[in-house]
Chains A and B, each alone.
Chain A
Amino acid sequence: MVGAAMQMADGLKEQLQSLTEGVAFLWPEITLVVGLLLVLLFDLIFQNKKEVGIAAISISVLSFLLVAQCLSFVPNLEAKDLFVGLITVSSGANLFKIGFTLTALFALIMAAQSKKYAQQYFSSSEWLVSLFGLLLGAFLMTASSNLLMIYVSIEVVSISSYLLTGLGKGLKKSEAALKYLLYGAAASAVMLYGMSWLYGLTGSLDINTDTFIVGMNAAQPFTLNIAIFMVLAGVLFKLGAFPLHIWSPDVYESAPMPTVTVFSIVPKLAAVFVLFRLISSTETTDFNWQQWLGILAIGGMTIGNFSALWQRNAKRMLAYSSIAHAAFMLSGVLLFNRAGIEVTVFYAFIYLIMNLAAFYLIQVFENATGSVNFDSFRGLGKTMPYTAILLLVVMISLTGLPPVAGFNAKLFLFSAVYEGYVSTGDQIILWVFIFGLLNTVVSLFYYIRIPYLLFFKTGDQIITKQEGFRWHMAWGTFLVLPLFLLFFRSDWFVDLLNSINFVF
């Protein structure tokens, strides 16, 4: 009796210890929560002129987080299960978190520079609290190794996203937010239902345990396929991938620029990470990841690109472009070998930089003309030449032409896909390879349209020529330079990726 009690006490002690130990690894998340609360308190306590204070707090919290994450980054960290297997910390996740923090920080900078809404973002805490919430959810998404944890973190991201979309007034906004909410709720419900099937099949929620993997392998193939499909629904929704992409153009169009920037990067990359997790624990099962993801990738890049062709609004165009890019990332994910993981992460980070730059520069033009419709870009290459050239570079990179990093991202990705075809002989991978490259030609057609309007057309609005230096030029250059740098020396980033211990 005494021995058993002792044992139980020991077990409890161990669990407690693992909890306290775990907290130390969660310092980025804790920092975020503290920042969130600070903003909230500041908003409650002070009455007038809160903008500066709120902006200062949020920017300094995120800057601190970014610097601290970079300084404490260890590439070959051993994966560690925390909180009795709810969370796994790994270097790969930490790298993604750095990217998320950078994106959020840049969204704040964009918000501060936004002509239309600068006051709105910081005058009360809603926007920032939702943003921090989204970031927190994304952090947890990269760390979750338990089905429930995955669900909860995806929900945190989703709820924050609904809020971010619906903030402020306007019929269009409400419509987009409601659409987003309905789609999202349905996707989450299906995912949760799928998770319950998985739990039923395996008796475990922790996807890294042997029980889970053994259970999955023993499961009846048909049931298993249905269950994984249902779980995929939620992930694909966050990834904004075909066929669960329909919400994104509307949301992108109506949400303000900084919010869209975050939407187009953070949840997507987090979803890529979750996909890696799911694949790693179900790789050995009957579910044919390569075939299904291959179909989704081919469908996504084709639908995304061809839909983008017809857009007349820069934000909607970028929404469809991000659907296509999500599909490109899927084609790296489906390989699920070391090379596939590395090229996907490389692609993801280049995508991050490109999208930051694209949205930032489009906001600069929006500030000048008040619109992101294609017509408003006419002739701006004359009045704002430097910004226009920067945007041209970004569009070239999004297309995937040299001499910018978008080319390397595509080259490495398709090399890995090619190699994947050679080593497995799987026909679907070959089709992904062919479709992916041919889609590049299609994508040129719409990416080049904005530079085309900037340089070839003459505008009717009168905007005085911007002479001399503007701050947005410095920020734009800061974002575009890495694209050149990573073209000429992509080995720097790849060497870092090589040293990272990707464990899922």
Chain B
Amino acid sequence: MEHLLSYIVFIPLVGAALVLLTPKAYEHLYRVLAISSTGLTLLLILFAVTSFNGALVPEISGEGNLQMMEKASWFSLKLGSLGALSVDYFLGVDGLNISMVLLAGIVLFIGAIACWNIKEKKKAYFSLYLLLCTSVLGCFVALDFFLFYLFFEFMLLPMYFLIGIWGGPRREYAAIKFFLYTLAGSILILIVMIGLYNSVYDPIKTAEMAGLSMAEYAISDIQSMVLEGQIDKTEVVKSFNMLHMADSANYIPGSLLDKSGLGTLFGQPIRWIAFLAILIGFAIKLPAFPFHTWLPDAHVEAPTPLSVVLAGILLKVGGYGLIRTAYAMFPDAAFHYAWLIGFIGMFSIIYGAMNALAQKDLKKLIAFSSVSHMGFVLLGLAAMTSEGVSGAIYQMFSHGLISSMLFLIAGVIYDRTHDRMIENYGGLAHQLPKYTVFVGIAFFASLGLPGFSGFIAELFVFLGAFKSASVIGAIPAWMAVVSTLGLVLAAGYYLWTFQKMFLGKFWVKEKKWVPALKDLTIHEYLMLVPLVILIIAFGVYPSLLLDLINSGVESFIDHLTASI
């Protein structure tokens, strides 16, 4: 199907427009519109995933073997001595993002189902939700930095309003905190983006500008002509293309971020500083210690569907962004700072888990467990081995499913009693047996029990992290050793919580809650059952996902090692 990715990205936007156009009298249709448009998107994504050829090895630093590519010139302009600047509408999938697109489809659809019970200001709610869907999906498939940044920034606004209007008691504080933190991060990314596009040229467009036919010259010919100065500087077309930015041959000789030109700033090579800026930008989104403090607030205040989307998919934008930009574009700096990233990852794992141990609010506990689990993503990336990176991607995918389920579970109990304090419940297993089963599955999946997707992910990350020292020497093995403590702590906080809330004699703090404590409704089954199936399926049959990402990851690792 032509323009498949465009359909995937913009169908929710069309849904949002339909919601806006539907008069208030048909209010009940809004949620139907939301579910059907995200459902249609999910179907298209499934179609895209099935037609995705996992065997094709993408180039990472070029457009070779990119699948479902869509490219059209958006605008190009000349700015005095700045030279030409061209922005493309450029979408495509390869092994690095196909899994994220799939995850986004699943989580956004389930999130839309979770929105079923929204009571007030429905029109605004559903249009904002669908707007958010478009920007998240766009973020994962956009391969032009300008386009990527557009989608990346545009996630903030709907999220700000969704938390700020429909959230809990401290929603306004949480919303502005979320907004400011993420904006600060994206400004850092913007700084690097400006630096990158001023340093990178598009060889194909440059050839066009210089009047050379691509039929006669290969891209490498053009690159060497630019390097030797045979093509005039004014004819070099600067580019926002994220894939071109990954190829060090595409850097204008002598430009600030050029590898050979290594300018310095504060005594450090500028490339390294740029890497750190982009790392912090996405680490805020991920979130990693010490930039994680917005997350517990946002999660606690956000309504259930928003927590699902936030934990399930928005955090993954941070991880994906790191892979696609920071690592692919600055592999040398990534290698140099591998110890730092690995350390932050390790620290986040332990620190998040310890914080989770201390929480009294169920949602806060899950939020801190997210910080802990996203630490694995950093650790896996820092290892710079194919197991590590596969593990990182697998962890993002698996955490997307598991954390969605965890927040849905927290939402179930909150819907009934409007209280999430762990200490206020006891022995719920007697009153809510079916619910308890699902909670058990989610908790065990999250603490990394074999048979669930989280286990595979963490296993791969540890394998990669252990091997790293001998294969590539990015991070020392003790980081992996220390990180395994995180598993023990995770088992601790989950089992404790499970014991306190579900085992023992049935007891709740307020008597009036008892009649409200009914077991799962059909609507809740509809969300939880598919997630359980997926978590187990990806736990026992990992090649479902690995087949999609393997060749991409291999090529990514080759790209990294070749540029160190």
Contacts of B191 in A (CB 8 A): 433-434, 437
Cβ-based interface call for B524 (8 A): no
> In the bound complex, do residue B78 and residue A498 qualify as a contact, i.e. CB atoms below 8 Å apart?
yes
Per-residue A-contact encoding for B186-225, CB less than 8 Å = 1, 0 else = 0100110011011000000000000000000000000000
Closest-by-CB residue of A relative to B152 is A402
Decide yes or no whether A495 CB sits under 8 A from chain B.
yes
A403: contacting residue among B77, B150, B164, B265, CB under 8 A: B150
Tell whether, in the assembled complex, residue B194 and residue A456 are in contact, meaning their CB atoms are under 8 Å apart. no
Q: By the criterion CB–CB under 8 Å, are B184 and A441 in contact?
A: yes
Given known A-B contacts A402-B150, A414-B194, A441-B184, A491 and B75 have beta carbons under 8 A apart: yes
Q: How far is the CA of A498 from the CA of B84 in the complex (A)?
A: 11
What residue of chain A has the Cβ atom nearest to residue B190's Cβ?
A: A437
Residue on A with the closest CB to B185?
A441
- A contact residues, range: 35 or more
Please determine whether A456 and B165 come into contact, CB atoms closer than 8 angstroms: yes
A491 and B77 form a contact (CB under 8 A): yes
Across the interface, do A415 and B176 meet the contact criterion of CB distance under 8 Å? no
- Across-interface contacts of B78 in A (CB, < 8 A): 494, 498
Q: Quick one: which of B56-88 are within 8 Å of A by CB?
A: 74-82, 85
Q: Are B81 and A455 in contact (CB under 8 A)?
A: no
Quick one: which of A260-296 are within 8 Å of B by CB? none
Taking a contact as CB atoms under 8 Å apart, the answer to whether A418 and B198 are in contact is yes
A214 interface hit (Cβ, 8 Å): no
What is the distance, in angstroms, from B167's C-beta to the closest C-beta of chain A?
Answer: 10
Report whether B82 and A490 are in contact in the complex, using a CB–CB cutoff of 8 Å: no
- List chain B residues, Cβ under 8 A from A402: 149-150, 153-154
Q: Name which residue of chain B comes closest to A399, CB basis.
A: B183
- Least Cβ–Cβ distance between A54 and chain B, in angstroms: 42
- State the Cβ distance, B471 to closest chain A Cβ, in Å: 37
In the complex, which residues of chain B have a beta carbon less than 8 angstroms from the beta carbon of A444? 179-180, 183
A339-B80 contact in complex given A403-B154, A418-B195, A452-B172, C-beta closer than 8 Å: yes
A489 touches B180 (CB 8 A): no
Q: Establish whether residues A343 and B180, one from each chain, have CB atoms under 8 Å apart when the complex forms.
A: no
Contacts of B187 in A (CB 8 A): 437-438, 440-441
- Cβ-neighbour of B176 out of A403, A422, A440, A445 (below 8 A): A445
Residue B275 at the chain A interface, CB threshold 8 Å: no
Chain B count of residues within 8 A CB distance of the other chain: 38
Q: Does A473 contact B (CB under 8 A)?
A: no
C-alpha gap A418/B79 in the complex (Å): 13
At the interface, yes or no: B293 with Cβ under 8 Å from chain A?
A: no
A341's contact among B80, B153, B194, by CB below 8 Å, is which?
A: B80
A434 to B195, CA, bound (A): 12
A448–B149 CB distance below 8 A: no
- On whether the beta carbons of A452 and B80 are closer than 8 Å, the reply is no
Q: Does B256 contact A (CB under 8 A)?
A: yes
Residues on the A chain within 8 Å of B195, using CB = 418
Residues of B within 8 A of A341 (CB): 80
A455 to B160, CA, bound (A): 11
| Complex CA distance for A445 and B183, rounded to whole angstroms | 10
Contact A337 to B81, CB < 8 A, known contacts A403-B154, A452-B176: yes
Q: Give chain B's interface secondary structure class.
A: helix
Task: Check: B157 CB closer than 8 A to any chain A CB.
Answer: yes
Closest CB in chain A relative to B312 CB, distance in Å: 24
Q: Is the CB of A494 within 8 A of B77?
A: yes
Q: What residues of chain B lie closer than 8 Å to A155, measured between beta carbons?
A: none
Q: Which of B76, B165, B180 contacts A445 (CB 8 A)?
A: B180
Question: Any chain B CB within 8 A of the CB of A137?
Answer: no
Return the chain B residue nearest A411 by Cβ: B194
Contacts of B156 in A (CB 8 A): 401
Q: What B residues does A423 contact at CB under 8 A? A: 81
CB distance from A324 to the nearest CB of B (A): 15
From 482 to 499 in chain A, residues with beta carbon under 8 angstroms from any chain B beta carbon are 488-491, 494-495, 498
Which residues of B sit under 8 angstroms from A337, Cβ to Cβ? 80-81
CA distance A412 to B85 in the complex (A): 10
B199's closest neighbor in chain A, by CB?
A422
Contact string against B for A residues 441-456, beta-carbon threshold 8 Å, 1 for contact and 0 otherwise: 1001100100010011
Contacts of B190 in A (CB 8 A): 411, 414, 437
CB–CB B80/A342 < 8 A: yes
A396 touches B (CB below 8 Å):
yes
Query: B-facing mask of A396-411, CB < 8 A → 1, else 0?
Result: 1000011100010001
Check if A13 is an interface residue, CB within 8 A of chain B.
no
A51 within 8 A of B: no
Q: How far is B195's CA from A430's CA once the two chains are assembled, in angstroms?
A: 12
- CA–CA, A441 and B176, complex, Å: 12
| Contact B256–A339 (Cβ < 8 Å) | no
Residues of B within 8 A of A401 (CB): 153, 156-157, 183
Let me know if B255 is at the binding interface, CB within 8 A: yes
Q: How far is the CB of B122 from chain A (nearest CB, A)?
A: 14
A343 touches B79 (CB 8 A): yes
Flag whether A62 is at the interface (Cβ < 8 A): no
A338 within 8 A of B: yes
Cα A423 to Cα B161 in complex, Å, equals 42
Chain A neighbourhood of B157, CB < 8 A: 396, 401
| Neighbour of B79 across the interface among A407, A415, A448, CB < 8 A | A415
- Complex Cα spacing A343 to B194, Å: 14
Q: What's the nearest-Cβ distance from chain B to residue A411, in Å?
A: 7
- Which residues in A have their C-beta under 8 angstroms from that of B154? 402-403
Tell me the smallest distance from the CB of A409 to a CB of chain B, in Å: 12
CA of A449 to CA of B149, assembled, Å = 24
Q: In the complex, are the beta carbons of B77 and A495 less than 8 A apart? A: yes
- A29: CB under 8 A from chain B? no
Q: Is the CB of A416 within 8 A of B79?
A: yes
Contact status B184-A415, CB under 8 Å: no
User: In B231-272, which residues have CB < 8 Å from any A CB?
Assistant: 255-256, 265
Q: Does A494 lie within 8 Å of B184, measured CB to CB? A: no
A56, B364: Cα distance in complex, Å: 64
Considering only residues 20-72 of chain A, those with a C-beta below 8 Å from chain B are none
Check B164 against A339 for contact (C-beta < 8 Å).
no
> A409–B149 Cα gap in the complex (Å)?
15
With known contacts A441-B180, A441-B183, A419–B81 Cβ distance under 8 A: yes
**Max count, chain A CB within 10 A of own CB: residue among B74, B77, B183:** B77
Answer yes or no: A300 CB below 8 A from chain B CBs: no
A350 shortest CB reach to chain B, Å: 14
- For window 505-546 of B, CB contacts with A under 8 Å fall at none
In the complex where A419-B81, A489-B75, A491-B76 touch, is A456 in contact with B153 (Cβ < 8 A)? no
The docked-state distance in angstroms from the alpha carbon of A415 to that of B191 is 9
A340 at the interface (CB under 8 A from B): yes
Do residues B184 and A412 form an inter-chain contact, with CB atoms below 8 A?
Answer: no
Q: Is the CB of A419 within 8 A of B198?
A: yes
Q: Are A422 and B256 in contact (CB under 8 A)?
A: yes
Chain B, range 139-179, C-beta contacts under 8 Å to A: 149-150, 153-154, 156-157, 160-161, 164-165, 171-172, 175-176, 179
Q: Are B79 and A494 in contact (CB under 8 A)?
A: yes
Closest B residue, CB atoms, query A438: B187
A416 and B164 within 8 A (CB): no
Q: CB within 8 Å of A: which residues of B?
A: 74-82, 85, 149-150, 153-154, 156-157, 160-161, 164-165, 171-172, 175-176, 179-180, 183-184, 187, 190-191, 194-195, 197-198, 255-256, 265
30 A/B residue pairs, CB under 8 Å, sorted by A: A338-B80, A338-B81, A341-B80, A342-B79, A343-B79, A402-B150, A403-B150, A415-B79, A415-B198, A419-B81, A419-B198, A430-B265, A433-B191, A438-B187, A440-B183, A441-B184, A444-B183, A452-B176, A456-B164, A456-B165, A456-B171, A456-B175, A488-B74, A489-B75, A490-B75, A491-B75, A494-B77, A495-B77, A498-B77, A498-B78
Q: Give me the interface of A with B, judged by CB distance under 8 Å.
A: 337-343, 396, 401-403, 407, 411-412, 414-416, 418-419, 422-423, 430, 433-434, 437-438, 440-441, 444-445, 448, 452, 455-456, 488-491, 494-495, 498
What are the 9 A-B residue pairs with the smallest beta carbon separation, nearest first? Answer: A338-B80, A339-B80, A491-B75, A494-B77, A491-B77, A339-B82, A402-B150, A441-B184, A339-B81
**Given A419-B198, A441-B183, A448-B179, 7 additional A-B pairs, CB 8 A:** A338-B81, A343-B79, A415-B82, A441-B184, A448-B160, A456-B171, A495-B77
